[in-house]
Chain A
């Protein structure tokens, strides 16, 4: 089954304790992206990756890091989490914005609800 998986689905942590949220897709997609969703603010893009070893900042990259060492995985790293990073996080993937003429569908993972105390 084609899917995007995220782990963990729920996480409560404390300020300053480094954490990683994993994202994996089994569709051989080139493009992957991370979003956060907050009430009243909607979905905001954190980072995206057009292919292996190619990553770019989205609209709200501060406090986050990503890596894309292999095509299927795109982990989101919070080196020193703070309470303002409490949010619902979504990973998404699609074929390629360029090769697919832009019409590619993004498939979203189930979300990770993060609380930073």
Chain B
């Protein structure tokens, strides 16, 4: 079976740094995505990792370790508008490259 785990909820303070972890056990792997979803809205793409290491994009960074089945999303200089759910998703490989498995999401609340 496919399994992706993320914490259900997290709280952080405006201006701080927060790390959201994601671990996965899947039958294949061809990349890991992070999406942001505000309440009542559609998910929007944040980052993509397929090789080990850190990808930085402004205030957001994403890290991947394929050997550990582990990724994290790092949000720096938190702003109130960062309050949202963050979804980790794994793309399978081979003939299932169209198959994207999502975690249940981490609801982040940013407090003043």
User: Given A90-B42, A108-B42, A111-B42, are A44 and B97 neighbors across the interface (CB < 8 Å)?
Assistant: no
Contacts of A49 in B (CB 8 A): 98
Interface residues in B24-51 (C-beta closer than 8 Å to A) = 30-31, 33, 41-45, 48, 50
Which listed segment binds B: A16-24, A73-81, A98-106? A98-106
Cα–Cα, bound, A107→B35 (Å): 11
Cα–Cα, bound, A108→B48 (Å): 16
Cβ contact within 8 Å between B98 and A33:
yes
Cβ contact within 8 Å between A102 and B104:
no
**What distance in Å separates the Cβ of A23 from its nearest Cβ neighbour in chain B?**
12
Contacts of A1 in B (CB 8 A): none
Chain A positions near chain B (C-beta within 8 angstroms)? 31, 33, 35, 40-45, 48-50, 56, 58-59, 90, 97-98, 101-103, 105-111
Write 27 A-B pairs (CB below 8 A) sorted by A numbering: A35-B102, A40-B104, A41-B104, A42-B87, A43-B87, A43-B89, A43-B105, A44-B102, A45-B101, A48-B98, A50-B98, A56-B96, A59-B2, A59-B101, A98-B97, A102-B30, A102-B50, A102-B97, A103-B50, A105-B45, A105-B48, A106-B43, A106-B100, A108-B42, A108-B43, A110-B41, A111-B41
Interface residues in B45-64 (C-beta closer than 8 Å to A) = 45, 48, 50
Cβ contact within 8 Å between B43 and A90:
yes
Q: Which 10 A-B pairs have the closest CB atoms?
A: A42-B104, A108-B42, A43-B102, A48-B98, A105-B45, A102-B31, A97-B97, A103-B48, A42-B102, A102-B30
Contacts of A101 in B (CB 8 A): 50
Cβ contact within 8 Å between A97 and B30:
yes
Chain B positions near chain A (C-beta within 8 angstroms)? 2, 30-31, 33, 41-45, 48, 50, 87, 89, 91, 96-105
User: Given A43-B43, A108-B43, A110-B42, are A102 and B101 neighbors across the interface (CB < 8 Å)?
Assistant: no
